[in-house]
């Protein structure tokens, strides 16, 4: 089997597979790259994970995820910053170029969205030198505004860039995830803005369909199974100069319940049908 050389399977799409199973299935399906998550890496043990990755021959496109640092100063915030530092070290150990950051929601009992957003910038300010020293980039992922209060106070690509552009683009960038940004009337101009400064650290693709499921966290679909027109987004990302791997990251109970090999096969086909052609066209 073979797959597009820029397709990376984000491990969350085959959430119930162990790290070794995930690496084996993805490699056997002919992919060259995988996006890892910290929990299955921790389950295997970091040293063992590093060895498993080396044995697989796969690139690691990113490590997901750190962040969750919207709380006010105090022990919980210090614990979060420490946890982020461990994640930076893991990212470097695994040879991944990028650590994905999800900001976190409003602290419990707080209505201070502006303050929470400032504390995201402050946390990245604390972590930037660690990332630079480790040779990895921190990738701020704006999440769809329906997650603003409980998961990520960074809601748009423009807002993520307002933070990222305060730092060196080798150290802090943004994630462009189609599911989270396709609705944004400003998305194409913000992708261009990100590209102009070299701030696109990751491009992730999956689809949006309605009605949303009861748990809106699990609302993602294979590219092509929803309403997103990937062509303008993919072309904008490529024209903006992004040359890295492209991850398919899907949270969906039905997909999680399927066999990992079937999921990787479907993902490969979906990528060919919705993304691959625009990668070539945008290069022309």
Q: Does 209 bind its own copies (CB under 8 A)?
A: yes
Least separation, in Å, of the C-beta of 274 and its own copies?
Answer: 10
CB of 64 to its own copies, least distance (A): 21
Give the pair of three-digit tokens for residue 140: 């701020």
CB of 227 to its own copies, least distance (A): 5
Q: Which stretch binds its own copies (CB under 8 A): 31-39, 47-55, 72-80, 222-230?
A: 222-230
Q: What is the 3-state secondary structure (H, E, C) of the chain?
A: CCCCCCEEEEHHHHCCCCHHHHHHHHHHCCCCEEEEEHHHHHHHCHHHHHHHHHHHCCEEEEEEEEECCCCCCCHHHHHHHHHHHHHHHHHHHCCCCEEEEECECCCCCCCCHHHHHHHHHHHHHHHHHHHHHHCCEEEECCCCHHHCCCCECCCCHHHHHHHHCCCCCCCEEEEEEHHHHCCCCCHHHHHHHHHHCCCEEEEEECEECCCCCCCHHHCEECCCCCCCCHHHHHHHHHHCCCCCCEEECCCCHHHHHCCHHHHHHHHHHHHHHHHHHHHHHHHC
CB of residue 162 to its own copies, shortest distance in Å? 8
From 43-51, 56-64, 210-218, 253-261, span contacting its own copies (CB under 8 A): 210-218
Stretch that binds its own copies, among 83-91, 96-104, 131-139, 226-234 (CB under 8 A): 226-234
Beta carbon nearer to its own copies, 78 or 111: 111
Q: Answer yes or no whether residue 158 interacts with its own copies by CB under 8 A.
A: yes
Residue 210 as a binder of its own copies (CB under 8 A): the answer is yes
The number of C-alpha atoms within 13 Å of 158 and in the hemisphere containing its C-beta is: 9
Asked whether position 117 contacts its own copies by CB under 8 A, the answer is: yes
Count of chain residues binding its own copies (CB under 8 A): 36
Question: Among residues 40, 105, 173, 195, which is the contact residue for its own copies, using CB under 8 A?
Answer: 105
In the list 199, 203, 208, 251, the residue contacting its own copies (rule: CB under 8 A) is 208
Single out the segment in contact with its own copies by CB under 8 A; choices: 27-35, 221-229, 248-256, 264-272: 221-229
218 binds its own copies per the rule CB under 8 A: no
Interface residue with its own copies among 52, 88, 176, 228 (CB under 8 A) is 228
């Amino acid at each position: 089997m073979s797959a597009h050389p820029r397709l990376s399977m984000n491990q969350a799409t085959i959430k119930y597979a162990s790290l070794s199973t995930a690496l084996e299935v993805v490699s056997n399906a002919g992919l060259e790259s995988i996006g890892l998550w910290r929990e299955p890496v921790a389950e295997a043990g970091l040293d063992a994970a590093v060895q498993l990755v080396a044995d697989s021959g796969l690139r690691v496109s990113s490590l997901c995820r750190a962040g969750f640092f919207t709380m006010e100063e105090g022990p919980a915030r210090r614990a979060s910053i420490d946890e982020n530092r461990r994640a930076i070290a893991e990212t470097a150990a695994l040879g991944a170029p990028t650590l994905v950051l999800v900001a976190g929601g409003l602290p419990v009992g707080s209505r201070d969205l502006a303050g929470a957003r400032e504390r995201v910038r402050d946390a990245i300010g604390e972590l930037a030198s660690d990332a630079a020293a480790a040779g990895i980039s921190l990738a701020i992922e704006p999440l769809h505004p329906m997650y603003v209060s409980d998961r990520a106070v960074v809601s748009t690509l423009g807002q993520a860039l307002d933070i990222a552009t305060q730092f060196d683009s080798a150290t802090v960038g943004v994630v462009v995830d189609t599911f989270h940004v396709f609705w944004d009337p400003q998305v194409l101009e913000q992708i261009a803005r990100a590209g102009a400064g070299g701030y696109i650290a990751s491009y992730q693709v999956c689809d949006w369909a309605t009605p949303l499921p009861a748990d809106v966290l699990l609302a993602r679909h294979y590219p092509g199974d929803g309403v997103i027109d990937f062509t303008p987004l993919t072309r904008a990302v490529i024209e903006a100069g992004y040359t890295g791997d492209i991850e398919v990251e899907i949270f969906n109970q039905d997909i999680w319940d399927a066999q990992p090999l079937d999921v990787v096969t479907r993902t490969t086909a979906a990528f060919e049908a919705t993304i691959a052609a625009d990668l070539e066209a945008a290069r022309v």
